């Protein structure tokens, strides 16, 4: 087994700054097509200039990968932040409509309820209006309570409560032929948090709980040899977690064999 240090090419940009990606994960299990998170979306008014009025070929690439919009059966939303729900909807020239018309969109009820009560700045209210309300109005949003036992979306795909970044945040456990992978959502944002589990994100709603969840998730992934898929990790996105003293180490999957 090779051990790879986080080097210049892994998870850092050319200036040595931490790099991050915004991405979705597409999984097919037992004939069901599942999309986990929907990125930033096109044409959406956003306060963050890097996210504002994007015009990307995301949907073309998703289709080429085998996931044309009308064939997606489930859209799982790890939490209700703008970079995870954007492609829930698309602009049809007149209004925002569901991008995946035949999908059941799934979000933890704790998450939906929190944001329906939370005081929020205008930009977040705009995001909910353009990316959540249209799927609710179309009857496509389902909000099961994701309790300690988790919630099975479809065989092989289980949602797990991982609160802290947001109150109803979930991670997504994929099980196949005895192996497990965990899509982290924003439990972590960068592999360096394996080494420094108590370093959080500035947008964690409850930073102490987020740190606790991060540490527990890393410990579990290390013990159970779960492939970790970091929702904001640039390539290599997947890797293994090893115990390293009081902390952990992320080893990219492609380097592990």
Q: Which residues bind Zn ion (CB under 5 A)?
A: 83, 186
Report the residue number, 186 or 204, with the smaller CB distance to Zn ion: 186
In this complex, which beta carbon is closest to Zn ion, that of residue 158 or of residue 165? 165
Contact 25, 35 (CB under 8 A): yes
Quote the tokens at residue 189. 């944002």
Residue 10 has what DSSP assignment?
Answer: S
CB 166 within 8 A of CB 81: yes
Least distance from Zn ion to the Cβ atom of residue 101, Å: 25
**Minimal distance, residue 3 CB to Zn ion, in Å:** 28
Q: Name the minimum Å distance from CB 188 to Zn ion.
A: 10
Smallest gap from residue 102 Cβ to Zn ion (A):
26
Q: CB-wise, 74 or 233, nearer to Zn ion?
A: 233
Q: Are 87 and 24 in contact (CB under 8 A)?
A: yes
Count of residues in the chain:
257
The per-residue DSSP string of 59-70 comes to: HHHHHHTT--GG
For Zn ion, the closer of residues 76 and 222 by Cβ is: 76
Q: Which helix (H) or strand (E) holds 149?
A: none
What is the token pair recorded at 135? Answer: 């799927």
């Amino acid at each position: 087994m090779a051990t790879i240090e986080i080097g210049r090419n892994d998870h850092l940009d050319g200036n040595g700054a931490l790099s991050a990606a915004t991405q979705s994960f597409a999984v097919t299990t037992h004939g069901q097509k599942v999309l986990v998170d929907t990125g930033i979306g096109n044409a959406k008014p956003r306060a963050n200039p890097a996210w504002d009025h994007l015009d990307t070929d995301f949907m073309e690439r998703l289709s080429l990968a085998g996931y044309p919009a009308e064939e997606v059966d489930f859209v799982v939303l790890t939490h209700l932040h703008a970079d995870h729900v954007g492609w829930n909807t698309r602009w049809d020239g007149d209004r925002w409509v569901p991008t995946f018309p035949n999908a059941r969109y799934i979000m933890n009820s704790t998450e939906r309820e929190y944001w329906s009560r939370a005081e929020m700045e205008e930009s977040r209210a705009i995001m909910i209006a353009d990316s959540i309300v249209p799927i609710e109005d179309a009857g496509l949003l389902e909000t099961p309570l994701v309790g300690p036992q988790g919630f099975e979306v479809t065989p092989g795909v289980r949602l797990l409560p991982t609160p802290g970044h947001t109150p109803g945040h979930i991670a997504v456990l994929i099980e196949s032929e005895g192996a497990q992978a965990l899509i982290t959502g924003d439990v972590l944002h960068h592999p360096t948090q394996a080494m420094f589990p108590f370093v959080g994100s500035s947008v964690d709603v409850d930073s102490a709980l987020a740190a606790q969840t991060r540490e527990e998730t890393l410990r579990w992934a290390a013990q159970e040899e779960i492939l970790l898929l970091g929702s904001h990790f640039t390539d290599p996105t997947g890797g293994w977690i090893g115990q390293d003293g009081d902390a952990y180490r992320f080893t990219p999957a492609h380097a592990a064999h």
